[in-house]
Amino acid sequence: MPAQRRLHLGAFMRPVSIHTGAWRYPGAFPDANFNIAHLRRFIRKLEEGKFDAFFMADHLAVLNMPIEALKRSHTVTSFEPFTLLSAFAGATERIGLVGTASTTFDAPFHIARRFASLDHISGGRAGWNIVTTSNPDAALNFGHDEQTEHAARYRRAREFYEVVTGLWDSFADDAFVRDTASGFYFDPERMHVLDHKGEHFSVRGPLNIARPVQGWPVIVQAGASDDGRQLAAETAEVVFTAVNSIEAGRAFYTDVKARVEKAGRSRDHLKILPGALVVVGDSLDEARETRARLDGLVHEASAIAALSIALGVDASSFDPDGPLPEVPHTNASKSGRERAIALARAENLTVRQLAQRLGGYGGLSFVGTPQTIADAMEEWLVTEGSDGFNVMFPFVPEGLDAFVDKVVPELQRRGIFRRDYEGTTLREHLGLPRPPNRFFPDA
Amino acid sequence: MPAQRRLHLGAFMRPVSIHTGAWRYPGAFPDANFNIAHLRRFIRKLEEGKFDAFFMADHLAVLNMPIEALKRSHTVTSFEPFTLLSAFAGATERIGLVGTASTTFDAPFHIARRFASLDHISGGRAGWNIVTTSNPDAALNFGHDEQTEHAARYRRAREFYEVVTGLWDSFADDAFVRDTASGFYFDPERMHVLDHKGEHFSVRGPLNIARPVQGWPVIVQAGASDDGRQLAAETAEVVFTAVNSIEAGRAFYTDVKARVEKAGRSRDHLKILPGALVVVGDSLDEARETRARLDGLVHEASAIAALSIALGVDASSFDPDGPLPEVPHTNASKSGRERAIALARAENLTVRQLAQRLGGYGGLSFVGTPQTIADAMEEWLVTEGSDGFNVMFPFVPEGLDAFVDKVVPELQRRGIFRRDYEGTTLREHLGLPRPPNRFFPDA
Ligand SMILES: Cc1cc2nc3c(=O)[nH]c(=O)nc-3n(C[C@H](O)[C@H](O)[C@H](O)COP(=O)(O)O)c2cc1C
Ligand SMILES: Cc1cc2nc3c(=O)[nH]c(=O)nc-3n(C[C@H](O)[C@H](O)[C@H](O)COP(=O)(O)O)c2cc1C
């Protein structure tokens, strides 16, 4: 292990907390998810904490829950990623800005252009979280009767990525000569017309924007199935994963890093960042109390709805006090189903217990003091459970402020997190190379 | 005529000048079209000049010109509207932000959501310039072999508008109760599921964002054909038009205002703003010299290319010194073709002369002193040639600074332009009502 290995930290927000009780916590801002003034404050605080990036999840429909749960969800109204991240670009100077965009319900030309534009506007801080969209209700908002089948979504995603990166390479970096004397604005020899014709897309190009500052915005991937991992290994530079334990983390890390090498890439060029809900207290008891109080704000209807989403089946007919029954395979998220089943087995949870955990946030979580949290993060780093984390805050502003003011200094003291930004682009923060232009390898 | 009638001024930019020689003018910023720092300076200057709005044109392909012309075009690299306007939202406080978005190559759910998000981020300053996209090359970037036929594009646009405005009305303004005690974030009785099923679109809804601050962002329309005018009469609140003379302006004004009334709307609820290139000098001669110098920077290849676009046919085989020959009808812009033919006839221009005029900017233009420019604008206003203008600057920063520093004070002195913003939203600047929610007329 080289001595200088350090954590990479993203903040995973949508655009605030994942926890469904977050907006009700005493002192939290109930409108935080949807108040641009609050959000500007949060992104600046993250930058003060030297985070690599703000990660914005995204969904193309209101979450598919029963109305009893939906009406309690603060995520029902949310900003759209491109508009919000572009607004953030002007409010910050260094922090990376990662937006989620679906390959199932958008066009490669639009996605290539918007991320290129965001990358230029932010001076090289954009990242694209490629998702295939698991919420079946999204399909209904885009003229489809039902969600496309899982493997087909991933095939489309792979080709979508090829087209987008090809469009980003439309111009060599030195194409724009802007010679006022001759009147030549750019050199057409340094422009490439993609002319892509594939299974899903036919896109001529070129893109009508210069190559992004970073060459390509950083590619992020969040699917966890076999197809998802393979797409990550071939394309991603950051994997955002949901693993529940350090053992699961190490297994995932080993598997995906091996796939990366098998795909002919350097294992260092893909960073694995599990999501982790971090609840900070001055004592262990205080932190645990906060978590318990927060989970207590989750309504049972939301809890059962979350369980249904995770399993891909309606869980409201299950006996709440019984164990989790056999659950059939569906066309929704495979990894979510496996995670839920594993959690129920591992902790021997009833349906209600499982639902309440998932309804708040059922994934990996560090609940403790700045020291115990830093201990845990260091262990993950040192034992190759991960390359860092996508931190989730239990509520804002307090949960976020506590992390930046208390946990970050402890990580810095240990030498496992930067004291200041060393570069200006997201690639530089992450230690990733700038990809060469495939059509102009010399430039 | 009520005494208080005043001009409305938009700045039409893409994102800087329309004139193809703009970037080469002495003192102009050659990279102005693509430098976020310059652009922030320009938008702030427009706000200092109390402009109603910044209007951003947009194209979904590099302009379809021969490479000899394209390589001289500063518009080949341009920011994408949603990202740029969102960045501007944070750099300004009052000015409206109008973005062009195509109904031919995007999905209503995306467009509804992005404009709603921009409207919230900007505190109610968004506008949507609905275009059907005339550049046939755009089709090739979105999987089509050729551009959809003109009338079909407009039918799709009409239904697209219905879906988008319906999605904006997904939530009553009072839907979000955010009651931390009960845990109800919103009232589902105040949410409407659109369930649209039409000829072109099937969209379930609801939109996953609160109703825009303005109810709906301001609807802008730029097509000039019969279909275009009819769409404007039924839907638009601002019409951006290209008319070449005050007579043509009055005819257009009379026709469109009559159509608005026939559609059952108030004629005051649609503002007609012709585009006008404004070249300011301290004397008439100085202004004319500037214009001549600017046109002189347009290369013949660009000139012929512009003529080809306007006519919808390849003009490079025409005799440059002869009169304009008969030109066949095509599937491209109808109004562009008619304009070019009328201009050639009116001024008895050769093909080369016509091409050079169009290659720079062939539309309406005011070239003069602050007094003569104000005289002309006042005449248009008073005689119902228009409700204001979409001002185009010959080059930046100088052309923009000259307009704000010299012409705006003269308009203010005459009482035909605001001295300060009176409201905070684009609707307020334009004197437009906030549309009621069609599903919740009480709220
Ligand atoms: C940690 C994580 C975060 C995700 N975030 C999003 C998101 O923001 N939006 C979305 O539509 N899908 C999101 N997904 C869904 C994935 O893109 C994918 O469609 C889904 O996980 C099914 O693929 P899988 O079986 O490979 O996991 C996420 C998945 C994971 C594991
Ligand atoms: C003044 C004006 C500005 C326009 N701006 C754009 C634009 O920015 N992007 C675009 O794709 N089309 C633009 N158009 C094209 C129109 O949306 C429309 O597709 C085209 O004019 C053909 O329709 P028409 O025959 O009704 O004019 C513009 C048209 C006019 C008249």
pLDDT tens by residue, A100-118: 999 999 999 999 999 999 9
Using the predicted structure, report yes or no on whether residue B80 has a pLDDT greater than 90.
Answer: yes
- Phi, psi angle pair for A10, to nearest 5°: -105, 160
Q: How far, in Å, is the centroid of ligand 2 from the Cα of B232? A: 12
β-pairing verdict for A388-392 and A8-13:
parallel
For residues B193 and B171, the answer to whether their CB atoms sit within 8 Å is no
Please check whether residue A101 touches B, CB under 8 A. Answer: no
Distance from the alpha carbon of residue A221 to the mean position of ligand 1, in angstroms = 8
Q: Within this chain, do residues B237 and B313 fall inside the same structural domain, yes or no? A: no
pTM: 0.93
Shared-domain flag, residues B161 and B274: yes
Is A435 within the bounds of a domain?
A: no
pLDDT for position A301:
77
Distance A122 CA to ligand 2 centre (A): 30
For A57-161, strand residue ranges (E) read 96-102, 126-131
In angstroms, the separation between the Cα of residue B127 and the nearest Cα of chain A is: 14
| Mean pLDDT computed over B405-434 | 98
Residue A60 structural domain: 8-279+369-430
Residues B323, B257 within the same domain: no
Band (pLDDT 50/70/90 cuts) for residue B20 is confident
Query: Nearest to residue B82, comparing CAs of A391, A87, A162, A11?
Result: A87
Average pLDDT of chain B to the nearest whole number: 93
Of A72, A90, A106, the CB nearest to B185: A72
Please report the pLDDT score of residue A1 as a whole number.
Answer: 43
* A3 inside domain: no
A116 within a domain of the structure (yes/no): yes
In a domain, A436, yes or no: no
- Among A339, A364, A389, the domain boundary falls at A364
DSSP B263: T
For atom 18 of ligand 1, the residue with the nearest CA is A223
Question: Domain for residue A438, yes or no?
Answer: no
Say if B1 falls within a structural domain: no
Report the complex ipTM: 0.93
CA distance B201 to B161: 11
Instruction: Answer yes or no: do A252 and A312 share one domain.
Output: no
Q: Compute and round to an integer the Cα radius of gyration of chain B.
A: 22
**Residue B442 forms part of a structural domain:** no
Residue owning the nearest CA to atom 16 of ligand 1: A223
B348 and B404 fall within a common domain: no
A272 shares a domain with A143: yes
> Which has the minimum average pLDDT: B107-116, B303-312, B401-410?
B303-312
Residues B263 and B386 in one domain: yes
Nearest CB to B90 within list A91, A106, A185: A91
Whether B436 maps to a domain, the answer reads no
| Residue A209 at interface with chain B, using a CB cutoff of 8 Å | yes
Which pLDDT score is estimated for A323?
94
Integer angstrom CA distances of residue B52 from A80, A237, B238: 25, 43, 11
Mean local confidence (pLDDT), B179-194 = 96
pLDDT-based confidence at residue B292 (cuts at 50, 70, 90): confident
Domain count, chain B: 2
Distance CA(A403)–CA(A277), nearest Å, equals: 11
Find the CATH number of the domain harbouring B28. 3.20.20.30
CB atoms within 10 A of CB B381: 22
Quote the pLDDT of residue B288: 87
pLDDT of residue B1: 44
Same domain, A45 and A104: yes
Give the distance between the most distant pair of CA atoms in chain A: 80
Three-class DSSP category at B11: strand
- Does one domain contain both B145 and B126? yes
Tokens matching residue B420: 């300060």
- Of B364, B381, B416, which residue is a domain's last? B364
Which amino acid belongs to residue A436? P
Tokens representing B92 are 């300004």
- Type of residue numbered A215: G
Any B CB within 8 A of A82 CB: yes
Residue B208 has pLDDT above 50, yes or no: yes
> Which of B317, B138, B323 is closest to A109 using CA atoms?
B138
CB–CB contact A121 B203 (8 Å): no
User: Which residues does A394 contact at the CB level (< 8 Å), separation at least 6?
Assistant: A17, A19, A22, A25, A277, A278, A279, A290, A291, A294
Per the model's pLDDT, the better-predicted residue between A278 and B313 turns out to be A278
Say if CB B46 and CB B407 are below 8 A apart: no
Single out the residue in A316, A348, A364 at which a domain terminates: A364
Match 């915005």 to its residue by tokens: A217
pLDDT recorded at residue A388: 98
Which of the two residues, B293 and A403, has the higher pLDDT score? A403
- Higher-pLDDT residue of A163 and B308 is A163
Quote the pLDDT of residue B357: 79
CB B414 within 8 A of CB B378: yes
Same domain, B150 and B227: yes
CB count within 10 Å of CB A298 equals 25
pLDDT at A2: 47
Same domain, B305 and B360: yes
Low-confidence ranges of chain A (pLDDT < 50): 1-2
Q: What is the pLDDT of residue B335?
A: 74
Same-domain pairing of B91 and B121: yes
pLDDT, residue A407, reads 98
CB atoms within 10 A of CB A248: 17
